[in-house]
A = this chain, B = another copy of it.
Amino acid sequence: MTKRWSHQLGKPGRPGYDLASLLDVAVKVFNKHGYDGTSMEMLSAKLGISKSSIYHHVSGKSELLDLALSRALDSLIAVTAEEGATSGAAIDRLEYMVRRTVDLVVADQAYVTLLLRVRGNTAVERRALARRRELDAFLGELVQTAADENDVQPGLDPALVSRLLFGTVNSIVEWHRPSGGTSSQELADTIVAMTFDGLRRT
């Protein structure tokens, strides 16, 4: 673990972590022990700095969670406004959403993992779940529109398809190792081939 010096963020001379690198470590600890299973003492020990140094940046564990979940949600939700997600046939917009979501999951894997494990035990978690539901609704409508445009195999429930399709994308966080060699491009190509075209050779 590399400690950074906060003068990188414009606080010359004060040793320690900047907020971004402190957040990276907190997210790792949350993912390993669960948010409920993580104490400020554990964060302090893992960071090698005092609790008061952490409180210099944030009001506590809950703000760290809020910042981390917001980062993941902001980038995922921003994709819904991109041109590829807003113009063209819905089936192609859906493919675009799949590919871009794979990119973000891989680029920010620890943060997305944390988001996917949120259970709604606190107000911060419930707010994040509400934003996730907005994203899910957008994706569900996209599959519905693609079905209305006759581009989806008939007989499938669009809401169910949407959940399963992005369930496939999200499952990446369970096993993908950033250093493991499978690129974001290869992952996206394989998911699209498997779910849009189908595994079975015809």
> Are the CB atoms of B195 and A194 closer together than 8 Å?
yes
Q: Does A172 contact B (CB under 8 A)?
A: yes
Which residues A140-165 have CB closer than 8 A to chain B? 150-157, 160-161, 163-165
Q: In the assembly, what is the distance between CA of A33 and CA of B38, in Å?
A: 11
Residues of B within 8 A of A157 (CB): 186, 190
Highest count of chain B CB atoms <10 Å: which of A33, A38, A155: A33
Task: Indicate which residue in B31, B36, B172, B200 contacts A167 across the interface (CB closer than 8 Å).
Answer: B172
Number of A residues, CB within 8 Å of B: 47
Residues of B within 8 A of A161 (CB): 190, 194, 199
B interface footprint on A4-40 (CB within 8 Å = 1, 0 otherwise): 0000000000000000000000000001111111100
Using CB atoms, name the residue of chain B closest to A168.
B168
Which residues A180-202 have CB closer than 8 A to chain B? 182, 186-187, 190-191, 193-201
Using CB atoms, name the residue of chain B closest to A182.
B160
Using CB atoms, name the residue of chain B closest to A91.
B200
Q: Does A171 contact B (CB under 8 A)?
A: yes
Q: In the assembly, what is the distance between CA of A121 and CA of B32, in Å?
A: 8
